[in-house]
Structure 1
Amino acid sequence: MPSAVSSQSSVKLENPVLDETDQPTKTEEDRQLSLFHQVSEWLQHEKVRRQARKARRAEAASHAAECVQESAERSSEEHHRSSESTFSLDKLEKILLQYAGASSVDGLAPMQAVKKVTRRRPKGLRRGSASESDYTDVEAQVPSVEAFLDNSKTLAYTGGAGEETADSSSSSKRSKGREAWVTFKTEILRLAHTLQLRGWRKVSMENACDMEVIRLSGAMTNAIYVVGPPKNLPPPKTQSGSASVVPRKPPPKLLLRIYGPQVDHLIDREKELQILRRLGRKNIGPRVLGTFKNGRFEEYFEARPLTAKELRIPETAKQIAKRMRELHEGIELLEEEREGGPMVFKNWDKWVDRCEQVTTWLDNQLDSPQNLAKAATEPWRRRGYVCGVPWAVFRKAVENYRAWLLASCGGFSEIKKQLVFAHNDTQYGNLLRMEPATQSPLLLPANEHKQLVVIDFEYSSANTPGFEFANHFTEWCYNYHDEERPWACNSRLYPVPEEQYRFVSTYLTHRPNVGNASPQGTPAMRGRNAAAITPLNLDDGPEPNCQQSQVEKSNEEALDAEIKYLMHQTRLWRVMNSAQWTAWGIVQAKIPGMEEGIAEMAAASRNASPEKNDEHASEQGAKTPTVDADVDEDEEFDYLAYSQDRALFFWSDLLALNLVNTDDLPAPMVEHIRARAVDY
């Protein structure tokens, strides 16, 4: 459940809105009753004035015989407007009177009803609007600012607690780190003020050091922080200038996302924000509250991410399957998304040139005479080719497999029919478990799966259900919090056929309550023109009980066939999933001297082939940001090790599908693959 967010307007009121347990003073009660009387008196006076005006116009129109037709038309028009106005006044009166009780005075509601009006949230108003003002329009523009937030000195997971008294005996390094965090928190608060994030203006810049900023683990592409307000906000000032006895309500916590240095190669941020707005209209995932050049603020959920082990718990797996079905059915693809085909193909095409730059340089380094001497201090040199083979061999294998996949699935046009809006990155860190209160509706058996919240839609777009399943099942094999090998794939943890069957069955039989859900089955079924379930007909055939039994058997057989079909599709698309994430890791890699080496290769290539477009080559080089020297490399995820391990999964599947011969691959790699192969 989203964190509680104040619905207070940016207008400063003389008196705070009262809670249900508060008792208003006599002065407050008199003031509110007086206001109520004034509104009612104005309403009655306005109705009398409009009726008199209507009568005078009707009388004037009746005496203008020479302009009968014109007057009649004008009278009709005026009558229409007057009727609309009178209707509006009647509606206002009805709103006022609906709160009147048996103890009302002169048709006015008692004090309790007035209090209810002040607490009432306007219908359709969303919790936690993106600025100090309440937005009633869910399509309101997300505020943005041209600012860059530097987090290069605050990549540690600790250090962002509220400011404490400095220890005089602390080292200069700790002191420097504390100063970096204070600067970071000050800039966060300055951004929150500029973006007018709701409630955060009550936190003054002098209190920035008392904020709590905690970096979360598990984010692979971005640095993620939870930003909390100071624990003890100074109380507001009264009209007399003294401190109020009523404490301030703290602003809501924020989720701060700062984009990684290599994401320009991976993610189209503008398209991502468009997708998040579409999800927001369906109340799926967290809302974006404000953006800046290299990140954004999001709604914060009081929840915890799942763990790697929880993915394999049967009940949790079923809940994930239901949530997946709701996403696929709840968000309709745009026409251009469906026509563009699977996003996995687009990702590969977008990343492949950068992959070629990186792996070509890496392969050259491995083949150089200096490699052995440097291998002692650079582990990646000891592991061999990132893709298991030279880059050219790997790229050719992906191209051949992709052509085979298209043919196996009936061609590009048939694949487009099966596309759904997929998350494409359902690893355990992107699945949050809400921890509802004792009386929460989320505790009802029918709603338990809604305790799961899906976040991080950076890679979301059109893909097939088979690809989505393959991506999720492969994530069962990873523990990104492993202290020694967070990049490693433990293929023994891949779900066995029985687990896959249960997951897909839950997905297919779940009927989400969404506007565009089809009662006829999944997009995969519609795309294949699957046979419809036979309706029950009591007018012919065998006895009803027997016929019902036959129908149920037919339905079970149809469901079983669809489950096995999607499991087969999962097997086919798993290869492309591995190829994509292999490329993803290569694009993310940061190796000392790599950027300079790639630039030298590009210069040598231009000199050897002057006909190449120099401007294009320079633009490609400019897109590669340099690595910040202050980043602690010990905390960096080993993307090259991840890519190499994922490439072995790729080759294992190609061997199992007989799309490559063992003689075409290095013998040691084939032995390693066979020891960890997943044949299902």
Structure 2
Amino acid sequence: MMAVKNENVSNGNEDHLPGEVKKLLKSLASSWGDVIDPNTLEVIPLKGAMTNEVYQIIWPTQTGEFPRKVLLRVYGEGVDVFFDRGDEIRTFECMSKHGQGPRLLGRFPNGRIEEFIHARTLSADDLHDPEISTLVAAKLKEFHDLDMPGPKDVFLWDRLRKWLKVAISLSSPEEAKEFCLDALENEIQIIEREFSVDNQLIGFCHNDLQYGNIMIDEDTRSITIIDYEYASYNPVAYDLANHFCEMAANYHSETPHILDYSKYPDLEERQRFVHAYLSSSGNEPSNLEVEHLLQEAEKYTLANHLLWGLWGIISDHVNDIDFDYMEYARQRFRQYWLRKPTLMSSSEASNDDCVNVVS
């Protein structure tokens, strides 16, 4: 999610770009033919990027009206623990072929150059706009229906267990106790056993559908979903749950790590989103279908809180930017323990000790 600062690039100064990146950018600019000087470019850091440092690169053109632009993505340090960079690149290239995102224009060892999408990134408030939310729901259904290469097995549980092992290995005894890390293997088993039903919808999921990963073209009202680092096959209800949980976040506020759960979508908002999601294929869903997927999504918020809680703990140890990862993790785990008794039918539905620890 949150980016790691890369000191090799600074605002407006191409001299700080690594030589191989400057060479690649120059080659791109030269190939277009309308750039005044391929060596004259502007570097603009883009705020709110997650996992990587992202920059807009601009060249003046001979017409002077429409400059050439690309997106420069510099991979963050220490984040390879969360995903396989090779898999992420293959997903990016495959998504480009499907016409689902920006084209890949060039690669270098610790980053890549992408097509610049002429659209704006959504804001936190946009997610609550009924029109935009409906457009996002339809686009998400299209995303889930993509036929992507590789195994189509649910990846959520393996990822949870992997991140738990990493979190335990990095945490001090005090941190492990605070977050009840020793209890989480059992928690994962419980929710996996209860949630893994035969009739759930499985699709290619984004798994990090926060507002910064969604763009809208104001003219055409078309939605583009970007940044596929965490994408994999999963229950679609989990992806909906992730999106709903992200509505509590505002990563551009003065306290970007603070989650405001009063912003979590109410029942009407969630019903509208799920209905728009199911009906986007052209078939009107029944009330029962809407309710079923809605209930599944609510349950999967528990898995989402666990996953991003672990992400927060790990990030505190591998990232060094000004973001309170531990407090973010604390809020996620708090929601897990508070919501679990009402969302689980299992008799193993409460753990008062852990609720008290994270309160």
Query: Normalised by the size of structure 1, how large is the TM-score?
Result: 0.48
Offset at 1:663?
Answer: 3.5
Deviations 1:640-669 (A, max 9, x none): 221122111121222334644354236474
Give aligned pairs, total.
352
2:192 is aligned to 406
Aligned residues of 2:51 and 2:76 also touching (Cα < 8 A): yes
Correspondence list, 1:306-321, <5 A: 306-321=122-137
Alpha-carbon spacing, 1:493–1:223, altered in 2? closer, same or farther (3 Å): same
1:661 maps to 350
Q: Distance in 1 between matches of 2:355 and 2:83?
A: 34
Tell me by how many angstroms 1:464 deviates.
0.9
| 1:248 Cα deviation after fit | 9.0
User: Per-residue deviation at 1:211?
Assistant: 1.3
1:494 alignment counterpart: 264
Q: Using the alignment, how far apart are the partners of 2:301 and 2:239 within structure 1? A: 9
Q: Which has the higher strand share?
A: 2
* Counterpart among 23, 32, 42 of residue 212 in structure 1: 42
Contact 1:425 1:471 in 2 (8 A): yes
Name structure 1 gaps, 5 residues minimum: 1-149, 161-177, 234-246, 365-384, 437-441, 443-447, 513-520, 522-554, 591-623, 628-632, 673-680
Q: Distance in 1 between matches of 2:289 and 2:43?
A: 48
Residue in structure 2 matching 1:189, options 7, 14, 22:
22
Per-residue deviation at 1:390?
A: 3.8
Q: 1:213 to 1:190 in 2, by over 3 A?
A: same
**Alpha-carbon distance in 2 for matches of 1:248, 1:492:** 47
| 2:58 aligned with 1:228 | yes
**1:63-102 alignment to 2 at 5 Å?**
none
Match of 1:430 among 213, 233, 241: 213
For each residue in 1:68-94, what CA deviation from the matched residue of structure 2 results, as whole angstroms up to 9, or x when unmatched? xxxxxxxxxxxxxxxxxxxxxxxxxxx
SS at match of 1:290: strand
Alpha-carbon distance in 2 for matches of 1:507, 1:666: 34
| Secondary structure class of the residue paired with 1:665 | helix
- Deviation per residue, 1:232-254 (Å, 9 max, x gap): 66xxxxxxxxxxxxx69987311
Distance 1:320 1:404 in 2: 31
Structure 1 residues 152 and 464: alpha-carbon distance in aligned structure 2, compared to 1, 3 A threshold = same
Q: What's the CA shift for 1:227?
A: 0.4
The one-letter code of the counterpart of 1:312 is H
| 2:190 counterpart letter in structure 1 | W
**2:165 aligned with 1:353, yes or no?**
yes
Unaligned residue ranges in structure 2 (runs of 5+): none
1:337 corresponds in structure 2 to: 151
Query: Displacement, 1:498?
Result: 1.1
- Alpha-carbon separation, structure 1, partners of 2:277 and 2:329: 30
Matched, 1:469 2:213: no
1:474: how far off? 0.5
The match for 2:141 is 325
Q: Structure 2: how far apart are the matches of 1:200 and 1:260?
A: 32
Q: Do 2:119 and 2:215's aligned partners in 1 also have CA atoms closer than 8 Å?
A: yes
Distance 2:213 2:167 in 1: 26
Q: CA 1:333–1:301 in structure 2 vs 1: closer, same or farther (change >3 Å)?
A: closer
1:298 aligns with 2:114: yes
Structure having greater relative contact order (Cα 8 Å, sep ≥ 6):
2
1:578 maps to what in 2?
Answer: 305
Shift of 1:458: 1.2
**CA contact under 8 A between 2:29 and 2:35: conserved in structure 1?**
no
Q: Which TM-score applies when normalising by structure 2?
A: 0.87
Counterpart of 2:89 in structure 1 is: 273
Residue aligning to 1:593: none
Distance 1:279 1:260 in 2: 21
**Identity across aligned pairs (percent)?**
29
Find the structure with the greater CA-based Rg: 1
Distance in 2 between residues matched to 1:357 and 1:191, nearest whole Å: 39
Deviation per CA, 1:228-277: give whole Å up to 9, x if none. Answer: 11x366xxxxxxxxxxxxx6998731101101101111121111121122
The equivalent position to 2:181 in structure 1, one of 367, 372, 394, is: 394
1:647 paired with 2:333, answer yes
Counterpart of 1:282?
98
SS of 1:217's partner is coil
User: Per-residue deviation at 1:460?
Assistant: 1.1
Kindly indicate whether residue 203 of structure 2 is the aligned counterpart of residue 420 of structure 1: yes
What amino acid is the match of 1:228?
I
**Corresponding residue SS for 1:321:** helix
Query: What is aligned with 1:605?
Result: none
CA distance in 2, matches of 1:470, 1:666: 21
Assess if the C-alpha contact under 8 Å between 1:151 and 1:184 holds in 2. no
**Superposition pairs for residues 404-553 of structure 1, below 5 Å?**
404-409=190-195, 411=197, 414=198, 418-436=201-219, 442=220, 448=221, 451-483=222-254, 485-511=255-281
Deviation per CA, 1:323-366, whole angstroms, max 9, x where unpaired?
1111112x1144x522xx3222232233222211222x2x34xx
**Secondary structure at the residue paired with 1:589?**
helix
Cα distance 1:404–1:183, how it changes in 2: closer, same or farther (>3 A)? Answer: closer
8 A Cα contact 2:88 2:228, kept in partner = yes
Q: 1:325 to 1:395 in 2, by over 3 A?
A: farther
Which deviations, in whole Å up to 9, do the C-alpha atoms of 1:612-646 show, x marking residues without a partner?
Answer: xxxxxxxxxxxx7xx7xxxxx6x622222211221
Query: Which deviations, in whole Å up to 9, do the C-alpha atoms of 1:440-463 show, x marking residues without a partner?
Result: xx2xxxxx4xx2211111111101
Residues 248 and 487 of structure 1, relative CA distance in 2, 3 Å threshold: closer
**Mapped contact 1:262–1:587 kept (Cα < 8 A):** no
Q: Describe the shift of the 1:264–1:662 C-alpha distance in structure 2 as closer, same or farther (beyond 3 A).
A: closer
Distance 1:418 1:211, change over 3 A: same
